[in-house]
Amino acid sequence: MSMFRIFDVSGSAVSAQTQRLNVVASNLANADTVAGPDGQVYKNRQVVFQTLLMGEATSAGVQVSNVVEDQTPGRRVHNPAHPAADGQGYVTYANVNPVEEMVNMISASRSYQNNVEVMNTAKSLLLKTLQMGQS
Amino acid sequence: MQRLTQTLDFQSQALMLRAERQRLIASNIANADTPGYQAREMDFANALRTATGRHSELAATGSAAAGAPLQTTHPAHDSARSGFEQETGLLYARHSQDAVDRNTVDLDRERASFADNTVKYEATLRFINGSVRTVLDAMKSHTQG
């Protein structure tokens, strides 16, 4: 039954969106992280989605091909009293933009919901198909 | 016997194609955030015509292999029929809005198509159930309820 493939397709999408949500969570958690003594600070991360072909023309899932780090320099704030301040009194924060991440989070959760809805519909259709000829 | 199952055969072909279209739309929704993904759509009427037309042709000709030729509206149709099972008339959807990542999935349209296809799948199921009930009723004797 070809409808079973929908669970593979939507399942892969749900799993990819979960990874995206995970990355958003770690970005938001590290939004106020400051650079350590070595000058290294948390870098904003983004997942990259890729189409996952499933052998048939009509089914294409999603996978996370890799996670990229944003290499732009972090936000620098002048605060000489901060314990992590460098020689000139600047503190480097992670280059996370919380507004962007919140938008990313909403988008990920909407896509997640869409795919769950697709799976629920496919499930109810399959259950009705199983009762074919009985009613 | 063929007349008894003719309607059922047609409905089962339609059901298979509905399931295929459901999968196609599910793929589009799954790839709504994939960069560069091109949304696809099925020409359902054409696919059904191909599926059922070939079926009736096979049934009608029987042993005569070179029976009535398939009616085509374009000279390229007949040669393109090989390998048609996989690529049953898949089209690329035209994007309504340009996206920066070259993704052409219009989620509103896909959700509408998904709902539409769900209802029509259920309708086809009911048609099949109706046909089955008709056949079963016809087989009952007049003394049975």
Tell me, yes or no, whether A135 lies in a domain: no
What pLDDT, in 10s, does the model give residues B48-96?
888 887 655 444 444 333 434 455 565 555 444 433 344 556 888 776 7
Do residue B31 and residue A62 have CB atoms under 8 angstroms apart? Answer: yes
Task: Report chain A residues touching chain B, CB-CB < 8 A.
Answer: 1-3, 5-6, 9-10, 12-13, 17, 20, 48-51, 56-62, 107, 111, 114-115, 118, 121-122, 125, 128-129, 132-135
DSSP code string of chain A: -GGGHHHHHHHHHHHHHHHHHHHHHHHHHTTT-B--TTS-----EEEEEEEEE-SSTT-EEEEEEEEEE--SPPPEEE-TTSTT--TTSEEEBP---HHHHHHHHHHHHHHHHHHHHHHHHHHHHHHHHHTTTT-
Q: Can you give the residue range of the structural domain that contains A105? A: 2-130
* Number of domains making up chain A: 1
Do residue A3 and residue B22 have CB atoms under 8 angstroms apart? Answer: yes
Banded model confidence at residue B34, pLDDT cuts 50, 70, 90: very high
ipTM associated with this complex: 0.84
Do residue A118 and residue B87 have CB atoms under 8 angstroms apart? Answer: no
Q: At what angle do helices A98-130 and A5-29 cross, to 10 degrees?
A: 160
Instruction: Say which residues have a Cβ less than 8 Å from residue B80's Cβ, sequence separation at least 6.
Output: none
Do residue B22 and residue A5 have CB atoms under 8 angstroms apart? Answer: no
* Residues of B in Cβ contact (< 8 Å) with A50: 34
Banded model confidence at residue B127, pLDDT cuts 50, 70, 90: very high
Tell me, yes or no, whether A49 lies in a domain: yes
Tell me, yes or no, whether A18 lies in a domain: yes
